[in-house]
Structure 1
Amino acid sequence: MRLSNLADYAVVIMSAAARAGHGARLSATVLAEETGIPLPTTQKLLGKLAAAGLFRSARGGGGGFVLTRGPGEISLADVVEAVEGPIAMTTCVDEGRQCCALEEACQVRPQWSVVNNAIRGALSGVSLASLSGVH
């Protein structure tokens, strides 16, 4: 399993926001400059992260993006799911999705949810605070 570049960049942006301090207002330009992520990509990711409820945005002179929770309350799973959608190792663990041609006879399918839950649990156990070195 490999994170997409966008998910990786989202973690970098969230870590930069965590280091700025809870309550700090950050612009897309500042985050792009600090992280080295191109401004259009930073803007796109900030929109996704805000839509997922990880940032609150405000327009105007005093505007910018503010973390909605402290870095210790945001997990790596929260960030990855904001960009990638629900963590699902295979389509078998997606509710309501047709799995594959082997679905009827597959002996492994019932175990994928165990694997998926273990991976999601591991990502949930890593806080933004620990990733960014903020305590």
Structure 2
Amino acid sequence: MRLSSLADYAVVMMSATARHCGGVARLNATRLAEDTGLPLPTVQKLVSRLSAAGLVETGRGAAGGFRLARPAAAISLADIVEAVEGPIALTTCVDADRHDCAVEGSCRVRPHWGGVNALVRDALASVSLATISSSAGPEPVEPTLSQLDPALRPGAGVHA
């Protein structure tokens, strides 16, 4: 499982925007492309998508450019990924509008994908842009199997 390059670049770009602007000043795409090493057309494309999602505000003219639409602490990784990728869905099973699975009628795994998908989305939603744009690195977080599935907790399923 891997984010697309565009989603990854959007996170890099939003992090740099948060560090430069703090939500107040405006930044232009050329400067951001230079600072991040991303190609200017990619930055422009992402500004358009992030603006459409309400994550950045854009302005034209001498005081133009873009800035965060809300404080970095109020923007999550899930917000950024969904602005670029659409709703987070690990499989088509979690998409209620899709019914194109060949084994849908007999699948015993499908009922579990919604919960797994929710855990992944919640994990991304729990990390703010403020956290990833700070100069201090966060404490490493390594979820355990017991956090992902209560049945895997020590002692689960063991009967005396």
TM-score class, shorter-chain normalisation, is over 0.9
Give the corresponding residue for 2:72: 71
Specify the structure having the higher radius of gyration (Cα): 2
The Cα RMSD (Å) is 1.2
Label 1:14 to 1:83 Cα distance change in 2 as closer, same or farther (>3 A). same
Give the corresponding residue for 1:5: 5
Unaligned runs of 5+ in 1: none
**2:31 is aligned with 1:16:** no
| Letter of the structure 1 residue corresponding to residue 92 of structure 2 | T
**2:89 is aligned with 1:88:** yes
Normalised TM-score (structure 1): 0.97
Query: Offset at 1:99?
Result: 3.9
| Letter of the structure 1 residue corresponding to residue 30 of structure 2 | T
1:23-62 paired onto structure 2 within 5 Å? 23-62=24-63
Query: Offset at 1:134?
Result: 6.4
| Letter of the structure 1 residue corresponding to residue 11 of structure 2 | V
| Letter of the structure 1 residue corresponding to residue 25 of structure 2 | A
Moved over 4 A (4+): none
Normalised TM-score (structure 2): 0.82
Give the corresponding residue for 1:107: 108
Deviation string, structure 1 residues 40-75 (Cα, Å, up to 9, x no partner): 011001101101100011111111111011110000
| Letter of the structure 2 residue corresponding to residue 16 of structure 1 | A
Q: Which has the higher contact order (CA 8 A, sep 6+)?
A: 1
Unaligned runs of 5+ in 2: 137-160
- Identity of matched residues, %: 62
| Letter of the structure 2 residue corresponding to residue 110 of structure 1 | P
> How far apart are the structure 1 equivalents of 2:80 and 2:62?
27
Residue aligned with 1:87, SS: coil
Query: Offset at 1:95?
Result: 2.0
> How far apart are the structure 1 equivalents of 2:53 and 2:46?
11
| Matched residues, number | 135
